[in-house]
């Protein structure tokens, strides 16, 4: 597993970029980060709040978690699981991020505190119910110990899509949004919550994301701006776990 570390301070956020030969190596690192963060947070404060990402990239990480040799030392019963975003479909729908996570992770480890995005009549109603869930658990603005995020080739993250009204939401914690590429409406955590995380971990793999990733990480063209560029935790760190294909366009010092 080849990995390169590069730390670049960007405004308040500290950014770490690690490049791996392939998705399997990236996913193994992400699983280890999940376990390390959970053990660190539980040691410090007796609990760990984690938001999971959806789509296809996290699947292998969940599998690596299930197979991890240290899985019996993970304080599963002290981990509180949320989602960074969800599709507005029933939890049993093949498009549901919850269903994907249930099949690959939740059915295989003893996580006890799991908070799916409720499925209601509309994405807006689901967002309101999800926000009520968050407010009931966190009381004040959530401070996630670990927030996994993916990135689309259009530069979206969670379900914060280019041009979405969710991008300017400063008060709500959960918001309804609509993907540019069609498909079901979404529910997403908003920037106030995401940028209050202690640790954000992006999982980005595949050549189709290389050009966008270069702009998001290196800001080479001021005329273009992507939602993923605005993930900058005030008092937190951002870790980018990339495969070589996604990192191919980054300047050489990221790619040893
Ligand atoms: C979703 C995700 C979304 C995802 C990116 C990358 O619900 O689809 O949360 O933000 O992380 O679109 O998706 P892939 O991992 O499938 O490339």
Is beta strand 199-204 parallel, antiparallel or unpaired with respect to 237-243? parallel
Q: Return the pLDDT at 206.
A: 98
* Ligand 1 geometric centre to CA of 170 (Å): 23
Q: Is residue 225 part of a domain?
A: yes
The answer to whether the CB of 213 is under 6 A from ligand 1 is no
Which atom belonging to ligand 1 lies closest to the Cα atom of 156? 10
Closest alpha carbon to 218 in 66, 10, 77, 1: 10
Q: Is residue 188 part of a domain?
A: yes
The answer to whether the CB of 53 is under 6 A from ligand 1 is yes
User: Residue-wise pLDDT tens for the chain (256 aa)?
Assistant: 445 555 554 555 678 999 999 999 999 999 999 999 999 999 999 999 999 999 999 999 999 999 999 999 999 999 999 999 999 999 999 999 999 999 999 999 999 999 999 999 999 999 999 999 999 999 999 999 999 999 999 999 999 999 999 999 999 999 999 998 899 999 999 999 999 999 999 999 999 999 999 999 999 888 999 999 999 998 999 999 999 999 999 996 665 5
Q: Is residue 255 part of a domain?
A: no
Q: Return the pLDDT at 7.
A: 56
Outline where the chain has alpha helix (H): 23-45, 58-67, 97-101, 123-138, 191-194, 210-218, 244-247
Q: Is residue 179 part of a domain?
A: yes
- Residue 211, both tokens: 């050009």
Q: Return the pLDDT at 252.
A: 67
Q: Return the pLDDT at 3.
A: 58
Q: Return the pLDDT at 31.
A: 98
Q: Return the pLDDT at 12.
A: 52
* Ligand 1 geometric centre to CA of 53 (Å): 7
The answer to whether the CB of 227 is under 6 A from ligand 1 is no
CA pseudo-torsion sign 215, 143, 235, 14? negative
For atom 9 of ligand 1, which residue has the closest CA?
Answer: 54
- What's the whole-model pTM score? 0.95
Q: Is residue 11 part of a domain?
A: yes
The answer to whether the CB of 158 is under 6 A from ligand 1 is yes
Which atom belonging to ligand 1 lies closest to the Cα atom of 186? 7
Residue 147: Cβ within 10 Å count: 29
Q: Return the pLDDT at 1.
A: 47
For atom 10 of ligand 1, which residue has the closest CA?
Answer: 158
The answer to whether the CB of 212 is under 6 A from ligand 1 is no
Return the CATH number at 22. 3.40.50.1360
What's the total number of domains in the chain?
A: 1
Residues 6 or more apart whose CB falls under 8 angstroms from that of 232 comprise 10, 11, 12, 13, 195, 238
Q: Is residue 256 part of a domain?
A: no
Range of the domain at 128: 3-206+217-250
Q: Is residue 212 part of a domain?
A: no
Q: Is residue 211 part of a domain?
A: no
Q: By the 8 A CB rule, do 143 and 78 touch? A: no
The answer to whether the CB of 152 is under 6 A from ligand 1 is yes
């Amino acid at each position: 597993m080849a990995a390169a570390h590069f730390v670049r301070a960007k405004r308040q956020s500290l950014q770490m970029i690690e490049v791996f030969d392939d998705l399997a190596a990236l996913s193994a690192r992400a699983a280890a980060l999940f376990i390390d963060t959970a053990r660190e947070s539980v040691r410090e404060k007796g609990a760990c709040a984690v938001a999971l990402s959806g789509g296809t990239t996290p699947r292998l990480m969940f599998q690596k978690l299930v197979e991890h040799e240290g899985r019996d030392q993970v304080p599963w019963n002290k981990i509180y699981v949320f989602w960074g975003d969800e599709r507005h479909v029933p939890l049993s729908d093949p498009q549901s991020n919850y269903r994907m996570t249930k099949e690959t992770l939740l059915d295989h480890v003893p996580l006890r505190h799991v908070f799916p995005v409720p499925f209601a009549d509309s994405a807006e109603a689901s967002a309101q119910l999800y926000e009520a869930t968050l407010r009931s658990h966190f009381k004040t603005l959530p401070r996630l110990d670990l927030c996994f995020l993916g990135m689309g080739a259009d530069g979206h993250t969670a379900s914060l899509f280019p041009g979405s009204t969710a991008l300017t939401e400063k008060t709500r914690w959960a918001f309804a949004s609509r993907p540019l590429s069609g498909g079901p409406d979404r529910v997403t955590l908003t920037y106030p919550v995401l940028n209050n995380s202690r640790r954000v971990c992006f999982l980005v793999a595949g050549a189709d994301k290389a050009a966008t990733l270069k702009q998001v990480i290196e800001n080479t063209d001021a005329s273009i701006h992507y939602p993923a560029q605005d993930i900058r935790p005030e008092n937190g760190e951002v870790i980018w776990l990339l495969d070589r294909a996604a990192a191919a366009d980054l300047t050489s010092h990221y790619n040893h």
